[in-house]
Structure 1
Amino acid sequence: MIQRAGSIVHIGFHKTGTTSIQHVLGCGREALLQAGCAYYAGRHMADNHVELHAAAMRPHRPSTFRLGSGLVFDETYRRTVARELASFGVAHAGQTCLFSAEGVCLLRHEDEVAWLRDALPRPVRIIACLREKAAYMASYRAQLEKVRHMWGGIIQRDEYNYMEDDSWLWDYDARLAPFRAAFGSEQVTVLDFDAVTKAQGSIVPGFLESIGLRDALSTQAWAGLFLNSRVARGSL
């Protein structure tokens, strides 16, 4: 059963079917609302709530969205995003506020995750999707190659575009640690992308089950849907 208040934040990770999940949630926004879940409409992209990480990250930190947006991520931006999130929470008091933004999984520091926690209606539950490490590394590297031109030749060891074998990106436990510390381990749910897709053919029904909304949408909403795949059928 879905929680009847607070927020659920789907944080990816990258290359675990996020685009498909967001597409299904966006198309099913009205049905979800009738089931007690309000799916946020983002200020930059309706179904991909990039403002969550863009506002929470320390000012100097890059992401693909931050680099490509041309925006200034200062205190004015932060306050604007926080105000919009608060208004959404008030408008949907008593319902679950649902967000999806894989950029959130790039938050590394206590103050970044604390900003996110404080900006969202509480309690906050985090949903993360993890896949087999080697497949994740290959798919993430392939995805980042598409935006290499945005980096200006700058690769920082502790940021999202450092992809050597010793990168922090491949340490799942370390990446989840700040979320467990801020929200509580019991509030962080991890889905096994490979197991769910093998059993159900898609990550989408497994994700919906994890938030208590499996029956809110028809199976036709995700049947055969594989968006942003690295190969024709498999690697989302």
Structure 2
Amino acid sequence: MSFNPTQTDSIVVRGARVHNLKNVDIEVPHNTLTVVTGVSGSGKSSLAFDTIYAEGQRRYVESLSAYARQFLERIEKPDADSIDGIAPAVAIRQKNTTRNPRSTVPTATEIYDYLRLLFARVGRTYCINCGREVKKDTVDEVADAIQALEPGTRLQVVFPLQRPGMTTPQPAEKAARPAKSKKSAAKANEPLSDALKTRLFDLRKAGFNRLVQGGQIFEFST
């Protein structure tokens, strides 16, 4: 059976002869966690680092411009009959390169900032409950969706209501905010202040009759 590299879902290595590898054939499936094990000197590092990683890195460097390649280390082509289905590779040696226990592969290889920018600009967010894409609707899209509802359909339009004197935290402040303590949880259940009561009263006078809090709907008391 002939092998077509365009139809494979694996990294396919044929006849690898790097260091102590003796014409090794292997297929590593994509999008899975694969562990290479063996006794000392069996060729684990030769296969993972000096063959698969080296070829992925070499092909990536070759795709760059001649100007960019002059600043990068030249990697020799691994000794193998063929290596197919491979993509640009990232590798971390078995040594303690950092003392930060929170380091990950992206942070240790300094690709985290680029991945974060990539996913933020071209990535898509999907709801874990319904599976639909989460996106920001425009005013026209909301109006069209409401107009498409069946006649007589009831709906609610809500907006955030802040306590007087409070400001909306920025995203950086939200990320740096520590976990809620019992004291802060008790503070959230404090009685409404006079200013907030006045605000709610003004809203009721303006025609608003309900308050949504914690997923529950409360009727304004008269």
> What is the TM-score when the length of structure 2 is the normalising length?
0.23
Larger Rg: 2
| Higher helix fraction (1 or 2) | 1
Greater relative contact order: 1 or 2 (C-alpha under 8 angstroms, separation 6 or more)?
1
> What is the TM-score when the length of structure 1 is the normalising length?
0.22
